[in-house]
Structures are given as C-alpha cells and as structure tokens.
Amino acid sequence: MEKNAKIYVAGHNGLVGSAIVRALKDQGYTNLIFKTSKELDLCRQADVEAFFEATKPDYVFLAAAKVGGIHANNTYRASFLYDNMMIEANVIHSAYKVGVKKLLFLGSSCIYPKLAPQPMKEEHLLTGFLEPTNEPYAIAKIAGLKLCENYCRQYGVNFISAMPTNLYGLNDNFDLANSHVLPALMRKFHEAKLNHQPTAEVWGSGSPLREFLYVDDLADGLLFLMNNYEGIDFVNIGSGKEISIKELALTIKDVVGYEGDIIFDSTKPDGTPRKLMDVSRLANLGWEAQTSLKEGVAKTYEWFLLHYETLRGV
C-alpha cells in the first residue's frame, strides 16, 4: 500500500478496526476514511454504493460486523445472519464496482466445525457441523470469505481474507454478560479487588485450552498481509500458542493484583476442550505475533483502568 493511498477502514470504532487505525497511523498512512454506523448504515445497499462512488478508496479493511458473545449469538440469530451478510455483500460488491485495488475481509475462528481437528487448518473449513449456538454468525463469515474467493475467481480482483483467533486488547467489550472470557475475567478480578472480596468465581473447571492474540498484533499482521499476500485462499492469524483457562485466570489475577482466591465452578459448562489455530501458512509468509500474553494483558489492564468509567458494558 502506498503511504498516500486512500484507505477505508469499515468498523473503525470496534476492537479490531480501532487497532487497524492505530497500526496504519503508526506506519505513516494518513489518507484514512471512516464512517460511523450512524453516518453510514452498511446494511443499506444504495447508501454503501453511493459512499464508494463518492470516495473511491484504493484499499479497504472490512472489519465491520455485528458481534456478541454466546448469549447474543444464540438469541439474535436472524439479526446476526442478516446484518453480517448484508454488510459483507454490500461492501465487497461496491469495492468491486469502483475498482478498489485490494480488500481484506476479517472473519472468525468460529467458521470451523465444532469438532475440527486441532490445531485447525484452513483446509478444515466445511468438513463438519458448526457450533450450534453461533452457527448464523459463522455462516455469515463463511459467506464473506467465499464472496472474496469467488469475486477473485470471476472478476480477477485482489480480495483476501484473514481468520483471527480469540482477540483481546484496547477498546474491548467488558460486559460480564456478553463479553469474551479474557475481558470478563479482567473486570471480575478488578471489581473483586475493589470490593475486597475473598473469592472470585470462574465458570468451568479451568481445564479447556484456548489461544489468544493481542489485537495490535492482529493489526500488524493484517497490514503485513495487505502488503505481502495475494491469493484466493484465506489465512489463519493467531499466536499459535495455547493456555488453559486456569492459567489465563491466574495470569490476569496477577496483573490485576487481586489477592483473593479463585473458585472454579465445575458445575458450569467448559465448552470445547481445545481450540487452537494452525498458523503455519502465515508463519511461512514471514509473520508471527510478538506480544506475550502477560505483556498484552498488562497493556489491556492499563487501558482498562484509564477508561473504566466509560467502558462498554460497565
């Protein structure tokens, strides 16, 4: 990407989009285009087409999506399917129509079958049934990556897709009911510390293994792909390292400085025993994550403390 190129970041206020904007600015890109969801409803085809005709961006990062935790995914199933498919179809088709040089679509690791072999390789896509609770969201993300793949095949465009693992970092969602495990534990331990609680409860046995990627590492990896990768095949992006939920909880507890005891409630569900991405395709291209989990958690907690009163979900 040329430093003066016109770059549109769809979803610039979210966890991923805001990290992409930070990375672009850090690397000297200044001609950036943003629109809030109130300014531009990406579900409205005519509005999206008009926006692309007016701005004609050179490059597009498609990080906009309707997202949520297990409860939201399972409750608002039609909305998650419709909104995400409309966002993807409108942005990808409009990018094709105005001749965007390159587009990068952001998917999710939930595209893989519930019982996919571990670690999950790109070729495991569509080899089994999806996790039922987030099937609509997963189907929408699969549709997005298939749109990119087949627009490349039919129209010869340069549209690529990346599938990130579990993300965390600055601008995360800390709502205890709807957030993911890492920000939820951070808030839970912080408030237990403030309230001098002797114990803090964590759902499950603590034994499941999960992979986490600091969102600023993700953004660095996405810029790397934009500058170094072309192809119809999507690419996994993650740390390639896994940690048990128990180890994760102890790491966050240490960073937060909570001195009480953690109680693992094994009557609550554990979920999938293991969920790890195979990142060898990206490693072979020459990129790997740089931020250790403890370093990333510390940076996230520092940001959390600065923004605690205004955080989403608090």
Burial class (CB in 10 A: 0-12, 13-18, 19+), 267: exposed
Position 237 scores a pLDDT of 98
Q: How is the chain classified by DSSP, letter by letter?
A: --TT--EEEETTTSHHHHHHHHHHHHTT---EE---TTT--TT-HHHHHHHHHHH--SEEEE-------HHHHHHSHHHHHHHHHHHHHHHHHHHHHHT-SEEEEE--GGGS-TT--SSBPGGGTTSSPPPGGGHHHHHHHHHHHHHHHHHHHHH---EEEEEE-EEE-TT----TTTS-HHHHHHHHHHHHHHTT-SEEEEES-S--EEEEEEHHHHHHHHHHHHHH---SS-EEES-S-EEEHHHHHHHHHHHHT--SEEEEETTS----SEE-B--HHHHHHT------HHHHHHHHHHHHHHHGGG-TT-
pLDDT digit string (tens) for 255-264?
999 999 999 9
Q: Which residues are annotated as a binding site?
A: 11-17, 106-109, 141, 164-167, 180, 188, 203, 210, 270
Q: Which residues contact 32 (CB under 8 A, 6 or more apart)?
A: 7, 8, 9, 21, 24, 25
pLDDT digit string (tens) for 57-78?
999 999 999 887 777 777 889 9
Does the annotation mark 82 as catalytic? no
Position 175 scores a pLDDT of 85
Instruction: Report the percent of the chain where pLDDT is more than 90.
Output: 87
Cα gap 240→196, rounded to integer Å: 36
Strands 32-33 and 7-10: parallel
Residues facing residue 203 across a β-bridge? 265
Residues facing residue 166 across a β-bridge? 212
Position 264 scores a pLDDT of 95
Confidence of residue 92 (pLDDT cuts 50, 70, 90): very high
Most confident of 7-21, 70-84, 260-274: 7-21
Strands 199-203 and 261-265: parallel
pLDDT digit string (tens) for 145-176?
999 999 999 999 999 999 999 999 999 989 88
Query: Does position 214 have pLDDT exceeding 70, yes or no?
Result: yes
Cα gap 166→175, rounded to integer Å: 16
Q: Which residues are annotated as a binding site for NADP(+)?
A: 11-17, 106-109, 141, 164-167, 180
Nearest-CA neighbor of 269 among 133, 140, 155, 168?
A: 133
Q: Which of 8, 59, 112, 137 is catalytic?
A: 137
pLDDT digit string (tens) for 110-138?
999 999 999 999 999 999 999 888 899 99
Q: Which residues are annotated as a binding site for substrate?
A: 188, 203, 210, 270
In the numeric block, which tokens belong to residue 35? 């629109």
Confidence of residue 27 (pLDDT cuts 50, 70, 90): very high
Position 184 scores a pLDDT of 92
Cα gap 161→105, rounded to integer Å: 5
Query: Does position 222 have pLDDT exceeding 80, yes or no?
Result: yes
Cα gap 40→206, rounded to integer Å: 42
Most confident of 75-79, 174-178, 234-238: 234-238
Residues facing residue 9 across a β-bridge? 61
Q: Residue-wise over 11-31: b if at least 16 C-beta within 10 A, else e?
A: bbebbbbbbbbbbbeeeebee
Position 270 scores a pLDDT of 81
The average pLDDT across 98-111 equals: 96
Structural domains of the chain sorted by starting position, each given as residue range(s) with its CATH number in brackets: 7-171+212-240+276-291 (3.40.50.720)
The region of weakest confidence among 18-27, 131-140, 222-231, 233-242 is: 131-140
CA 127 to chain centroid? 22
